Amino acid sequence: MTDPMTDEEASKDRFFKELGMIAERMIAAHGKDFAMGVLVLAARWIAEGKSFAEHRGASDDRAAS
């Protein structure tokens, strides 16, 4: 029998499942290479302490033009 998850473990599990669903949608829409590239880039930004909000404006600007 396993011990019930702590609140932190349950939270991490929800995020992992959510990320998995996002990855599956990216693969379906743009392929595995795109999905892997995005996830690696996200990991790099996290490691470098960059804000995702700063980069969001670039794609928003392109969509507006």
**How far apart are alpha carbons 26 and 16 in whole angstroms?**
15
Q: What is the pLDDT of residue 52?
A: 84
| pLDDT (tens digit per residue) in 8-20 | 999 999 999 999 9
Instruction: List the pLDDT tens digit at each of the 65 positions of the chain.
Output: 688 999 999 999 999 999 999 999 999 999 999 999 999 999 999 999 999 887 765 555 555 54
Q: What is the pLDDT of residue 21?
A: 98
Does residue 54 fall inside a structural domain? yes
Number of domains in the chain: 1
Does residue 1 fall inside a structural domain? no
Domain containing 58 equals 7-64
Long-range contacts of 26-34 (CB under 8 A, 24+ apart): none
Q: Which helix (H) or strand (E) covers residue 39, if one does?
A: helix 32-48
Does residue 29 fall inside a structural domain? yes
